[in-house]
Structure 1
């Protein structure tokens, strides 16, 4: 198939490997460059390597820029990309360093007529796509509650996070800003918009700057609730705890869906003990059910075929607003409307 979309990536840290692999598997894409201030990190990919963004944009003239660097760099990066005529941008989460910066980025992209998508990939994990299908089919009747228990098992001791993403230790906002935002977005994908939150957050590991455990209760319309129960010190039953990062249970009037740590989904009808399998665990390529590939495939389809995008930055502002409300709730000890 002819390569019709030129893609360049900024950032060659730990998680970028999943982006590179996914782009290489999309037939319509040509990965034309990778930039990192440590160019030795970019070179092993085998693609043209650059030491800074401007150099890469001028040399490659990409259609799409994939931003895979920390939040404090996002706004300036988006400005530079727009100034160089990039036609579409994907930006990793957490999106920008603040809500004000995120709003500015959205405004700049809108004025330029450039699609700006947040790389929020958890809603693209196959188990959540199957949950959404099952909900739409009415498999569990009227939804009452969704619970997710985050148990990554990587947060204990002085060496926590250092081998993979050492900057985690220095994030003053950690569990919610870096991790729970995945489920703010996923809960909205499954259940609709969030109306109020209540949060109890705490720091368990003294060597890190931010919180690493806590509970968040989300209110939705019609009395529906969701609970995020996160603790990065504890683990769950899985060969790879980073497949699902925890376990979930979705409960309704006619049935219950459970997500196990290997990515399997099971449905138990109300009043029965037997379950049927909605999704078998398989050896997914890439990260967490190959959700990086699924998101990037979704964006390519949107650009080439005119399909609507999920996770536009404009819509993602709502996720950041909810995140801010969670931190206010934890600080003030009360429920916050959003």
Structure 2
């Protein structure tokens, strides 16, 4: 039996959108049916039927999936518009909406319309974290006691930091965590579950930008495990492509440990041994994050076609946004917060 193609339309044709379009084109069960952008020239550059607004595109075609690849200030209204026009599956880039309140409104609107709303949180789909999850599931590391990720993209130095690739970073009042660290909050949830406590310390090093560009947060778990994000956009790590993994990680359990290096290699060392076993070889892919955009999109389409559970549904992602808020509150007040009792 032949499975019908999933029709996908995209809103947005800016910097990161090229990874979305490129991934959709590589999927043989997908048909791209349109691109919309406030710049009709950018939309036309995709080679798809081009529109200058979402409304105009939805007048021409109602896709099976609308892929929103725009900035947070647009999210709530375009989600509202898409739902009103009958779109039943929406993938929305992160940061998701402008606030927790807007995100909750978007979730309520989608559920009222009987639609599926998914956040494009792609780091958990990077192959090294899927490998780590499998190793934990198989008991290779035993009980996890600590996981640390050191973010070192090396792109934050100097008066012209971020200008070449993502200049809007410079004006964001919340940068390190809101734009990047939130990925790792989600990775920690994916690998270890919801923490009980959160402590954070954030700072701004580069005076040419508005938001924080260095700091750390710690997730504490009831079983004694700790997950540590240590981020500094001024420093680098040993990798040909600093954006492949954006840093290095070490996950340690009572039976063994897993290490992630900048080329995407996962090495396993059994407790008490010096021998290293490669569980995942380094990635030669030049696509973003080990092709995690393609992995996420494949995951969503497979879920629609087979009925399997789809990760990153917006209702679940509210928990990640709440953790982000706790991180900022902890850093501002120099205190640890209990997640269960946190009231925003």
State the TM-score bracket (shorter-chain normalisation). Answer: over 0.9
- Output one character per residue of 1:178-223: Cα deviation in whole Å (capped at 9) or x when no partner: 1001011000000011221100000011111110100111112311
Q: Which residue is 1:181 aligned to?
A: 182
Provide runs of 4+ in structure 1 moved above 3 Å.
none
2:342 is matched with which residue? none
Contact 1:3–1:30, Cα closer than 8 Å, also in 2: no
Aligned-residue offset at 1:3: 5.2
Residues 281-322 of structure 1 show CA distances to partners (whole Å, capped at 9, x for unaligned) of: 131252111000000000001111111110100000000000
Give the Å deviation of 1:53: 0.8
Moved more, 280-289 or 28-37: 280-289
Which deviates more from structure 2 when the two are superposed, residues 265-274 or residues 241-250?
Answer: 265-274
Check if 1:211 corresponds to 2:212: yes
Q: What is the SS of the residue equivalent to 1:45?
A: coil
Corresponding position of 2:112: 111
When normalised by structure 2's length, the TM-score is 0.97
Q: How does 1:47-196 map to 2 (within 5 A)?
A: 47-196=48-197
What is the CA–CA distance in structure 2 between the aligned matches of 1:221 and 1:86, rounded to whole Å?
41
For residue 140 of structure 2, give the secondary structure of its aligned residue in structure 1.
coil
Question: In the alignment, is the contact (CA less than 8 A) between 1:3 and 1:27 conserved in 2?
Answer: no
TM-score (norm 1): 0.98
Offset, 1:149: 0.1
Partner residue, 1:252: 253
2: CA distance between counterparts of 1:162 and 1:68?
Answer: 20
RMSD over equivalenced CA pairs, Å: 1.0
Q: Give matches, 1:249-328, under 5 Å.
A: 249-328=250-329
| Alpha-carbon distance in 2 for matches of 1:254, 1:209 | 44
In structure 1, stretches of 5+ residues that fail to align are none
Counterparts of 1:196-207 in structure 2, within 5 Å, are 196-207=197-208
Query: What is the number of residues matched between the two proteins?
Result: 338
Q: C-alpha offsets along residues 122-154 of structure 1, whole Å, 9 cap, x if unaligned?
A: 000000000000001111111100000000111
- Structure 2, unpaired ranges of 5+: 340-344
SS at match of 1:222: coil
The Cα shift of 1:26 comes to: 1.1
C-alpha distance in 1 between matches for 2:84 and 2:162? 36
Deviations 1:4-44 (A, max 9, x none): 21111111111000000111111111111111101111212
Q: Matches of 2:198 and 2:3 in 1, distance apart?
A: 48
In the alignment, the residues of structure 2 paired with residue 39 and residue 221 of structure 1 have an alpha-carbon distance, to the nearest angstrom, of 52
- CA deviation after TM superposition for structure 1 residue 2, in Å: 6.3
1:113 CA displacement: 0.7
| In 1, Cα distance between equivalents of 2:331 and 2:283 | 38
Q: 1:84 to 1:71 in 2, by over 3 A?
A: same
On the 8 A contact 1:244/1:263 being kept in 2, the answer is: yes
The aligned residue for residue 27 of structure 1 is 28
